[in-house]
Amino acid sequence: MDRTLIKNVSIFDGTGRKPFAGSVVVAGNRIEAVTDATPADAARAEVIIDCGGKFLMPGMTEGHAHLSFDSFTCTEDLIAPPPEEHAFLTARVAKTLLDHGFTSAYSASEAKLRLAVAVRNEVDAGRLPGPRIRAGSLEITVSGGLGDESRLHNPRNCSTLSNATSPSLVIDGPEEMRKAVRLSCREGCDNIKLDVSGDPFYPHIPASCTTMSLEEIQMAVQTAHSFGRMVNVHARSIKSVQNSVIAGVDMIYHAEYSDEETLDMLEAARDRIFVAPSIGLFHTMVHEAEQWLPREVVEGMGIPALIEESVKTHTALRKRGIRHLIGGDYGFAWNMQGSNARDVKYFMDYYGYSSSEALVCATRNGGLAMRREGDLGTLEVGNLADMLLLDGDPLQDVTILADKSRIAMVMKDGNLHTLSPSLKSAI
Write the CATH number for 302.
Answer: 3.20.20.140
At 4-63, the pLDDT tens digits run 999 999 999 999 999 999 999 999 999 999 998 777 666 688 899 999 999 999 999 999
19 and 166 co-located in one domain:
no
* Confidence check: pLDDT of 155 > 70: no
364 and 385 co-located in one domain:
no
Contact 102, 407 (CB under 8 A): no
Tell me what percent of the residues of the chain surpass a pLDDT of 90.
85
Of 124, 125, 116, residue with least CA distance to 65: 116
The three-class DSSP label of residue 336 is coil
For the chain, the straight-line distance linking the first and the last C-alpha, in angstroms and rounded, comes to: 19
* Confidence check: pLDDT of 373 > 70: no
Q: How are beta strands 3-11 and 20-27 bridged, if at all?
A: antiparallel
388 and 268 co-located in one domain:
no
283 and 309 co-located in one domain:
yes
35 and 181 co-located in one domain:
no
Query: How many separate domains does the chain show?
Result: 2
Q: What value does the mean pLDDT take over residues 221-225?
A: 99
Last residue of a domain, one of 324, 347, 369: 369
354 and 385 co-located in one domain:
no
Of 156, 133, 13, residue with least CA distance to 62: 133
Write the CATH number for 386.
Answer: 2.30.40.10
99 and 211 co-located in one domain:
yes
Nearest-angstrom CA–CA distance, 225 and 206: 30
Largest CA distance in the chain: 75
285 and 347 co-located in one domain:
yes
Of 80, 29, 22, 17, residue with least CA distance to 51: 22
Nearest-angstrom CA–CA distance, 91 and 133: 11
Range of the domain at 247: 60-369
At 111-133, the pLDDT tens digits run 999 999 999 999 999 999 999 99
145 and 279 co-located in one domain:
yes
68 and 33 co-located in one domain:
no
356 and 392 co-located in one domain:
no
Q: How confident is the model at residue 423 (pLDDT cuts 50, 70, 90)?
A: confident
311 and 324 co-located in one domain:
yes
- The vertex-235 CA angle with 272 and 241, nearest 5°, equals 55
* Confidence check: pLDDT of 384 > 80: yes
At 183-206, the pLDDT tens digits run 999 999 999 999 999 999 888 899
Last residue of a domain, one of 321, 344, 369: 369
Last residue of a domain, one of 369, 393, 416: 369
Strand order in the sheet with 168-171: 168-171, 136-142, 191-195, 230-235, 251-254, 274-276, 323-324
Q: Which of 243-247, 248-252, 374-378 has the lowest mean pLDDT?
A: 374-378
For residue 126, what is the DSSP state? T
Q: What value does the mean pLDDT take over residues 284-298?
A: 95
Output the pTM of the full model: 0.95
